Amino acid sequence: MYPMPDPAGRSLDRKGVLDEINKFVVAALAIGLTSTAMGQVIGKAEDQIRWRQSAYHTMAWSMGRIKANVEGTYSKDQVIEAANVILAIVNSKMGALYQPNTNTGKGWKETRVKPEFFADRETPGKVAQGLGKEGNEMAKVAATGDLAAIKVQFGKLGEACKACHDKFRKEE
Amino acid sequence: MYPMPDPAGRSLDRKGVLDEINKFVVAALAIGLTSTAMGQVIGKAEDQIRWRQSAYHTMAWSMGRIKANVEGTYSKDQVIEAANVILAIVNSKMGALYQPNTNTGKGWKETRVKPEFFADRETPGKVAQGLGKEGNEMAKVAATGDLAAIKVQFGKLGEACKACHDKFRKEE
């Protein structure tokens, strides 16, 4: 078996390489990624907090738009526009905006993330995957124009948002 | 010719209807829509201001990601993820977040929009169309993975952002 160099200059055998990959994947899931690929890290802590607050509020606007359509006058285009915004954001690997030094601090306002989000090695990845799944499904269903199915999927997407809020967001 | 009722209870002949439609389209363009279809209005003035600030900052994050890719290590997937967020937002008809009562007021912070934005009947529509064009093109170019073309298009998209900032955004 050939030893492989790692970035820290150590030599690793195959078992060592697999262990490193495993640690990497666990770390990726722990910061809430929807995929095992690492997201791209840019910005200072306060930028990351402001950007994630912005992305959630952009999704909240979009959820409000879908709600107005399913409860009031339905427009296929409006639901598609809003669902596509949510789709792009849930697929943007915004877990990268949860670097360890963003556990406290101020973006637009103090972050509401709970310490458990950074301590829990499993649940953040799971809730993020849930949001990814329902966000992708929402865009598919929106494109069909089937209002009854849109209502059902909108409910599921709302539950996926709530799953994270209940566990990891402080009350205001 | 049959008279048609309008929402204000007046009767309009065909010429009157066309005049009304024309006024509607002009008003739609004036609030910065990228299409002649009206966007969907939800939320109070402070919500609309906060949502538009959020959407711009979500785009700023995405622009920062593309910049890091074209100036540093290039990842096709990262550029696509970021470009798709911009694409969805420029196609979301966020001009609807510029209702007349949002000319002043506070979302996350005081709005930086200049009064000219609401007074000018032409330019806001034009700059919004420019952003829509370059944002749609950015997503197409990102998908090709052609780094040289991505650099060029990123520059054009930045210019489209700046066109509106220069004209309609107050300095901080």
Looking at CA atoms only, how far is residue A78 from chain B in angstroms?
A: 7
> What's the rounded mean pLDDT across residues A141-147?
98
User: Residue B143, class by beta-carbon neighbours within 10 Å (0-12 exposed, 13-18 middle, 19+ buried)?
Assistant: middle
d(CA A31, CA A46): 17
Distance from CA of B42 to the nearest CA of A (A): 7
**The pLDDT of residue B76:** 98
- How far apart CA A94 and CA A80 sit, in angstroms, is 22
Q: Which residue of A has its CA nearest to B69?
A: A40
pLDDT at residue A39, rounded to an integer: 81
Whole-number pLDDT of residue A4: 40
Asked if residue A84 has pLDDT above 90, the reply is yes
pLDDT at A24 > cutoff 60:
no
Q: How far is A1 from chain B (nearest CA, A)?
A: 31
Which amino acid would we find at residue A4?
A: M
The pLDDT of residue A95 is above 90: yes
Rounded to an integer, the average pLDDT of A143-154 is 98
Chain B CA closest to residue A55:
B58
Q: What is the reported pTM? A: 0.81
> Contacts of residue B88 in chain A, CB cutoff 8 Å?
81, 84-85, 87-89
Q: How far apart are CA A77 and CA A81, in angstroms?
A: 6
Say if the Cβ atoms of A92 and B75 lie within 8 Å.
Answer: no
User: Is A92 in Cβ contact with B88 (below 8 Å)?
Assistant: no
pLDDT at A103 > cutoff 50: yes
| Per CATH, domain A11-168 is 1.20.120.10 | yes
Measured between CA atoms, the residue of chain A closest to residue B47 is A61
Which of A20-24, A26-30, A146-150: highest mean pLDDT?
A146-150
User: What average pLDDT does the structure give for chain A?
Assistant: 85
Residue A5 has pLDDT above 60, yes or no: no
Q: Which residues of B fall below an 8 Å CB-CB distance to A?
A: 37, 40, 42-43, 47, 50-51, 53-58, 60-62, 64-65, 68-69, 75, 77-78, 81-82, 84-85, 87-89, 91-93, 97, 108-109
Instruction: Give the mean model confidence (pLDDT) for residues A112-123.
Output: 95
What's the pLDDT band for A35 if we cut at 50, 70, 90?
very low
pLDDT at B3: 39
Local confidence pLDDT in tens for the 172 residues of chain B: 333 343 333 344 555 544 544 444 444 444 444 433 468 899 999 999 999 999 999 999 999 999 999 999 999 999 999 999 999 999 999 999 999 999 999 999 999 999 999 999 899 999 999 999 999 999 999 999 999 999 999 999 999 999 999 999 999 8
Q: How far is B68 from chain A (nearest CA, A)?
A: 8
Query: Which of B47, B85, B97 lies closest to A88 in CB terms?
Result: B85
Task: Provide mean pLDDT across the span A136-163.
Answer: 98
Q: Six-digit token pair at B40?
A: 């969907």
Structure tokens at B142: 């990102």
List, in sequence order, the alpha helices (H) in B40-146.
Answer: 45-71, 76-90, 116-119, 123-144
Instruction: Say yes or no to pLDDT of A115 above 50.
Output: yes
Q: Which of B32, B65, B61, B27 is nearest to B48 (CA)?
A: B32
The shortest CB-CB distance from B92 to any of A51, A75, A82 is to: A82
The answer to whether residues B1 and B13 touch, using CB atoms and an 8 Å cutoff, is yes
Our CA angle for A53, A97, A83, nearest 5°, is 60
